[in-house]
C-alpha cells in the first residue's frame, strides 16, 4: 500500500491508475467554476538615446528600468515570493530577436543610438497600478549610459480561469510552443536542486497549472499534471527542435531549454471530456501572459504559442 501511495504522489503511475479521467472531472470543474483573477499583459516599446553595452542577459535591464521608475517594485523583484506575481521578458528587437547571450558567442550585447527595443510584462491584477506607474515614469530614464523612453504601449486584460479563454482548441491538432528565452522547468513532484530538461508538457506548464488551480504540490495538483501530460503529448521531433543551451548570467554559464516543441492533442479524450479542453485552454492563456517555468521575473521562460488546426496539417 505504501508503495502504491508513493507512486501516485510521484506521478509514476498513469492517470487512469491514479485518479482516472472520471475522477478528475470534479477537480477540473471546481477549478473552472471557482473564483477567477485578473491578469494583465503589456508590450512596451522603447527608444534608446545613446550607445552602450548591456548585461549579457537583458532581463536585468528590464527589471532595473521598472524598479528605477517605481521603487516599490523592488519588493516584488528582489523578494523570495513564489510564484512571482510579475514577470518580464528580455529586450527584443522589432524583428523578433531576443537579446541574451549564449555560451560560445563572441562579443557583447550592445545597442546603438536611436535603437528601438521591446519587452513584455505580465502581472496579477493587484499589481496593475504599480506597473502602470513604472511605465508612466519611463521617459528619459538614464541606465547603463543611455536614456530610455517609452514610445508605444499595448495592454491586454485576461480573466483566468475563464469560460472563454484567449486560446481555443476547436479543430486544433497541434500546439506549437516556442521558447524565446531560456526556459527553466520546475519539477512538479518535489522541490529539488536538479532541474527538469525533458519538454514533457506537464513539466513545461507545471507552474501555470499550479497557479491557475491555486494548488501546491498536493494530490489534486499531481493529478492535473498527469492529466495535462496525458492529453498534450510531445512529438518525436522535439528531440531535434528543442535543445539545451548555456546562457550567460552573472558571469556564469548555466543550462536552460530553447527551441520549440510540437505537442499533439489527444482529441478523442477531449471530445469525451470538454472540461479538460477548457482547462488546457486556460493554462495556455496563463502561459501567454505569465511565461513558463521559474525565474520568469528575470526574463526567463518567455514563450510564443501557436495553434495548428486540422486544415493546416498535423505537423511532426
Return the closest-CA partner of residue 204 out of 88, 284, 270: 284
What are the grid coordinates assigned to 301, written together? 521562460
Cα distances from 310 to residues 150, 169, 172, 260, 271, in angstroms, run 40, 11, 6, 20, 15
Site of grid cell 516556442: 178
- The pLDDT assigned to 316 comes to 65
Integer Cα distance of 114 and 164 in angstroms: 41
Q: Check if CATH label 1.20.1250.20 holds for domain 2-34+165-312.
A: no
Q: Please, what is the end-to-end C-alpha distance for the chain in angstroms? A: 41
> Is the distance from CB of 124 to CB of 37 less than 8 angstroms?
yes
pLDDT computed for residue 257 by the predictor: 98
Helix and strand counts by DSSP (H, E) for the chain: 12, 12
Q: pLDDT for 273-296, tens place per residue?
A: 999 999 999 999 999 999 999 999
Q: pLDDT tens digits for 104-125?
A: 998 889 999 999 999 999 999 9
Q: Could you tell me what percent of the chain has a pLDDT over 70?
A: 92
- pLDDT for res 315: 54
Q: What is the pLDDT of residues 218-244, one digit of tens each?
A: 999 999 999 999 999 999 999 999 999
Q: Is the pLDDT of residue 313 over 60?
A: no
**167-265-223 Cα angle (round to 5):** 90
Average pLDDT over residues 200-227: 95
State yes or no: pLDDT of 19 exceeds 70.
no
> Where does residue 67 rank: exposed (0-12), middle (13-18), buried (19+ CB within 10 A)?
middle
Say if residues 41 and 252 touch (Cβ distance below 8 Å). Answer: no
SS3 sequence, 72-110? Answer: HHHHHHCCCCCCCCEEECCCECCCCCECECECCCCCCEE
Q: How confident is the model at residue 1 (pLDDT cuts 50, 70, 90)?
A: very low
pLDDT band at residue 69 under the 50/70/90 scheme: very high
Per-residue pLDDT at 7 exceeds 90: no
Which is more confidently placed, 31 or 152?
A: 152
Q: Which CATH number does 37-159 carry?
A: 2.40.30.310
Q: Which three cell numbers, joined as nine digits, stand for 233?
A: 503529448
What is the chain's length?
Answer: 316
The pairs formed by 212-215 with CB atoms below 8 angstroms and a separation of 24 or more are 212/31, 212/160, 212/161, 212/279, 212/282, 212/283, 212/286, 213/31
Domain residues of the chain, as ranges?
2-34+165-312, 37-159
Radius of gyration of the chain from its Cα atoms, rounded to whole angstroms: 20
The pLDDT of residue 35 is 85
Nearest-5° Cα angle at 154, 139 to 158:
130
**Residue 68: φ, ψ to 5°:** -65, -35
**Contacting residues for 251 by C-beta, under 8 A, at least 6 apart:** none
pLDDT at 17: 41
Q: What is the mean pLDDT of residues 93-102?
A: 96
CA distance 182 to 43: 19
Q: Please, are residues 143 and 53 in contact by the beta-carbon 8 Å criterion?
A: no
The whole-number pLDDT of residue 161 equals 96
Cell numbers given for 94: 522589432
Amino acid at each position: 500500500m505504501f508503495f502504491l501511495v508513493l507512486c501516485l504522489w510521484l506521478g509514476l503511475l498513469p492517470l487512469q491508475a491514479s485518479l482516472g479521467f472520471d475522477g478528475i472531472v470534479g477537480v477540473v470543474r471546481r477549478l473552472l467554476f471557482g473564483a477567477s483573477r485578473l491578469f494583465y499583459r503589456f508590450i512596451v516599446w522603447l527608444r534608446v538615446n545613446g550607445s552602450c553595452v548591456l548585461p549579457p542577459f537583458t532581463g536585468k535591464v528590464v527589471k532595473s528600468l521598472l524598479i528605477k521608475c517605481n521603487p516599490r517594485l523592488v519588493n516584488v523583484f528582489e523578494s523570495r515570493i513564489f510564484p512571482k506575481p510579475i514577470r518580464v521578458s528580455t529586450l527584443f528587437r522589432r524583428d523578433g530577436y531576443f537579446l541574451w547571450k549564449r555560451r560560445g558567442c563572441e562579443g557583447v550585447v550592445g545597442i546603438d543610438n536611436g535603437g528601438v527595443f521591446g519587452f513584455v510584462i505580465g502581472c496579477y491584477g493587484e499589481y496593475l497600478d504599480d506597473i502602470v506607474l513604472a511605465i508612466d515614469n519611463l521617459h528619459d530614464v538614464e541606465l547603463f549610459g543611455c536614456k530610455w523612453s517609452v514610445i508605444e504601449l499595448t495592454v491586454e486584460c485576461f480573466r483566468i480561469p475563464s469560460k472563454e479563454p484567449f486560446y481555443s482548441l476547436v479543430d486544433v491538432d497541434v500546439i506549437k510552443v516556442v521558447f524565446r528565452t531560456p526556459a527553466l522547468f520546475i519539477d512538479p513532484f518535489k522541490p529539488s536542486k536538479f532541474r527538469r530538461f525533458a519538454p514533457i508538457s506537464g513539466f513545461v506548464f507545471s507552474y501555470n497549472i499550479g497557479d491557475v488551480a491555486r494548488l501546491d504540490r498536493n494530490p489534486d495538483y499531481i493529478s492535473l499534471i498527469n492529466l495535462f501530460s496525458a492529453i498534450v503529448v510531445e512529438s518525436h521531433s522535439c528531440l531535434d527542435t528543442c535543445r539545451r543551451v548555456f546562457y550567460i548570467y552573472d558571469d556564469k554559464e548555466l543550462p536552460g531549454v530553447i527551441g520549440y516543441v510540437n505537442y499533439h492533442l489527444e482529441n478523442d479524450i477531449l471530445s469525451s471530456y470538454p472540461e479538460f479542453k477548457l482547462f488546457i485552454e486556460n493554462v495556455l492563456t496563463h502561459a501567454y501572459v505569465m511565461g513558463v517555468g521559474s525565474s520568469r521575473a528575470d526574463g526567463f521562460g518567455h514563450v510564443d504559442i501557436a495553434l495548428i488546426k486540422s486544415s493546416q496539417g498535423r505537423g511532426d
